[in-house]
Amino acid sequence: MIVVDSNALAYLLIEGEKTPVARALFERDPDWHSASFAPLELTNILATSIRATRLDEASANQALAKALALMENSLHELPHAQVLALANRLRISAYDAVYLGVSIELGVPLVTEDRRLREAAPDRCLSLAQAAAGE
């Protein structure tokens, strides 16, 4: 089991340079969990990709459907006060604090390509490559 942010989910579902490593991680550990708002953040990534003509609407809808099916029973919420405390303690955004807080609550790593988040919580966060390699 791992916690992923919306970008890791996007790398799994939208073909790109990091897709092979995201797929390798999913094959290694398909039990992905996330914050309850991850589907909304993914929807924003998809909408941005459509506007930039990197993705057509049909492909975006397919990716969104896959994400919703994948995360159907794996989305978590945290109390806002807990998120605020973690964000302030680590000087990270509340959005990042939710992902990190979920990983703390579940006792598993957070997989993210966000370098600043990994630096803020190096004991909890792994890159896609590190997680896929089993580090």
Q: pLDDT tens digit string along 33-57?
A: 999 999 999 999 999 999 999 999 9
- pLDDT tens-digit series, residues 118-135: 999 999 999 999 999 987
DSSP 16: S
This prediction's pTM: 0.93
**C-alpha distances out from residue 116 to 6, 10, 64, Å:** 15, 19, 27
Residue 57: both structure tokens together? 């609407």
**CATH for the stretch 2-132:** 3.40.50.1010
The answer, yes or no, to whether residue 60 has pLDDT greater than 90, is yes
| Domain boundary assignment for the chain | 2-132
**Closest CA relative to residue 37, chosen from 110, 98, 124:** 98
Whole-number Å distance between alpha carbons of 1 and 60: 26
Does residue 84 contact residue 21 with C-beta atoms inside 8 Å? no
